Amino acid sequence: MKILVIHGPNLNMLGKREKAIYGEKTLHEINALLEKEGQTLNVELVTFQSNHEGELIDFIQKQADSAHGIIINPGALTHYGFSLLDALADSKLPVIEVHLSNIYRREEWRTSSVIAPVAKGQISGLGWRGYIAALRALADELKGEASP
């Protein structure tokens, strides 16, 4: 089973960027924790980060046919990335949207997600642990082990 883990704009700066909001871990550290969990769950992960919406779309289009699900933190594209939304919808894969911070406790403009309508679920505010929770939930679901 293959799950795509996609990180949007500015998430390459984790560990330096607004640590009080996004935590201390770098993206590399978060990906390594996900990789470890993926091995435990026997799931192959393909991770990708870009600061460019088109590159995120290219990645989804290239990978979707061979993948089973997507975990995505779209960064600020969450709030206006309609092309990204279309690419996710077109992938027809189950999508879990993850945010390190709780977007509902922040500025008004962050409280709406254009991605949410295509997401199976959303995890917001649990920091890096949100990615691990998303991976466990998606892997469970895909393996048909989850209760309804």
Q: Which residues are catalytic?
A: 22, 99
Using CB under 6 A, pick the residue from 73, 88, 119, 138 that binds ligand DQA: 73
Site string for ligand DQA, 104-123 (x = CB under 6 A): ------x-------------
Q: Which of residues 5-64 bind ligand DQA (CB under 6 A)?
A: 10
* Distance separating alpha carbons of residues 83 and 143, to the nearest angstrom: 30
Number of residues in contact with ligand DQA under rule CB under 6 A: 10
| C-alpha 39: how far from chain center | 18
Q: Kindly indicate which of the ranges 31-39, 57-65, 74-82, 83-91 contains the residues binding ligand DQA, using the contact rule CB under 6 A.
A: 74-82
| C-alpha 13: how far from chain center | 16
Residue 99 is a binding residue for ligand DQA (CB under 6 A) = yes
Using CB under 6 A, pick the residue from 31, 47, 50, 78 that binds ligand DQA: 78
Question: CA–CA distance from 136 to each of 40, 44, 79, 133 (Å)?
Answer: 10, 13, 26, 5
Residue 106: strand, helix, or coil = coil
Residue 103 is a binding residue for ligand DQA (CB under 6 A) = yes
Query: Given the complex with ligand DQA, which of 50 and 78 has the nearer CB atom?
Result: 78
* Distance separating alpha carbons of residues 107 and 71, to the nearest angstrom: 24
Residues in the chain: 148
Cβ atoms < 10 Å from Cβ of 145: 8
Q: Kindly indicate which of the ranges 27-35, 46-54, 81-89, 95-103 contains the residues binding ligand DQA, using the contact rule CB under 6 A.
A: 95-103
Q: For 39, how many CA atoms within 13 A lie in the half-sphere containing its CB?
A: 5
In the complex, the residues that contact ligand DQA under the rule CB under 6 A are: 10, 73, 75-76, 78, 99-101, 103, 110
